Chain A
């Protein structure tokens, strides 16, 4: 199994470690609910070394990014970030990623850990012209600090002014004496930052952030709470909510698909889906008291299976059972009721507005 540079730190903190798609990762340190609440109310620290980082540089970098992803990288300013799917010609999603634009000749692509090899090969097969493609995943550390106190805590460790960095923008600068990419992004629905840096500095940065956040109540956060936090904010999990068998239009990610920029890989099929409709669409639902909906449970209407749950949990902030799943468009309107089949019994669920949770903006 692959280990992160912070593995010993997690074990010392008493984390329960699991195999997460080939990575030996902390699933929880104390309690998923406690960790979840720490991020909503104070701050949490995440070791995300396992994520993949690819650099795309050269005179034809922008042209290639425009072809590979559905977002419009030309419309991005330098030092701006886009969340975007990356599709095959049939519209199916290879992965979802973050595109960091330094300038038209320099991009950082951040991909899911479980897809590093698949994405690398896919992107490589797509490239044209004068461009260099470099997988720096093994050398790049990534720590996220998330929560209402995240900015104040991080600001203690850097002279770079954080306040002017807008959501989905980044800057580069030193945290302690470590040169970092400081990015106002995250996967929790809270305020916060993600730091990319040379991996050998992982322990120093982690310990300094834990110390700087001590008074504010910072906690280390495992994959368990990462999942409940992202689901409340309706952020996609690749392999669950989106996959090789779904498209961005089906997943209701239309806002990430920019047809105006011209043709890109998958644009013909996606355009057709947008104009003519889809056979399944991703909705959010809530369930009453009782068992939680889980990945793979059937969605049933009038005794017939019509879809499948892609993610579900008891939501710690909302204190109710929520989930996402694909259903036929006729069952996607807010207020529609269908059943979730759980261990042979049907439990009614209602389609509700998403995101399930939105942080109060200051």
Chain B
């Protein structure tokens, strides 16, 4: 698993990267009440915003950790956005991206490096 300085995690399986927000981010945001998901098939560019996540108090952009095409979004979040708080690293995943270039994935932060950012 890899991480970004925007507090997202990414997990590569074959050529598909699953993306979510980290425990730290979920805790900082507080109760998530809405997640704006991209449409299937949209093309994402590394570092560019692809959606927003709203808690009671704040609105935050989410940034693509890698470039590629959206192949699936977590439809559970439409009815139950609180999944992001309950299980940010697993059931609260947000989007699956078919990567264009797996080298981008290798440039993301390791868990150890990400933890340093959160301190």
Contacts and interface: CB of A to CB of B under 8 A. Distances in A.
Contact of A224 (B28, B56, B85): B56
A86 interface: no
Contacts of B54: 291-292, 314
A33 interface: yes
Contacts of B33: 292, 314
B52 A28 contact: no
Contacts of B36: 291, 343
A356 to B, nearest CB: 15
Interface residues of A, number: 17
A224 B52 contact: no
Interface string A12-51: 0000100000000001100111000000000000000000
A153 B31 CA distance: 28
- Size category of the B interface is 10 to 19
Contact of B30 (A224, A227, A313): A224
Nearest to B82: A33
A290 interface: yes
Given A313-B56, A314-B56, A316-B56, A28 B30 contact: yes
Given A291-B52, A343-B52, A32 B57 contact: yes
* Max count, chain B CB within 10 A of own CB: residue among A16, A228, A292: A292
Interface string A196-211: 0000000000000000
Contact of B34 (A27, A31, A290, A316): A290
Nearest to A319: B33
Interface string A284-319: 000000111010000000000000000001101000
Contacts of A33: 31, 56
A170 B71 CA distance: 62
Contacts of A27: 57
A31 B52 contact: no
Nearest to A224: B57
Contacts of A290: 34
B34 A32 contact: no
Contacts of B31: 31-33
Interface in B30-56: 30-31, 33-34, 36, 52, 54-56
Contacts of B34: 290-292, 314
Contacts of B1: none
Given A28-B30, A292-B54, 15 more contacts: A27-B57, A31-B30, A31-B85, A32-B55, A32-B57, A224-B30, A224-B57, A291-B36, A291-B54, A292-B33, A292-B59, A313-B56, A314-B34, A314-B54, A316-B56
**Closest 4 pairs (CB-CB, A-B):** A314-B33, A32-B56, A33-B31, A224-B57
23 contacts: A16-B28, A27-B57, A28-B57, A31-B31, A31-B85, A32-B30, A32-B31, A32-B56, A32-B57, A33-B31, A224-B30, A291-B34, A291-B36, A291-B52, A292-B34, A292-B54, A292-B59, A294-B59, A313-B56, A314-B33, A314-B34, A316-B56, A343-B52
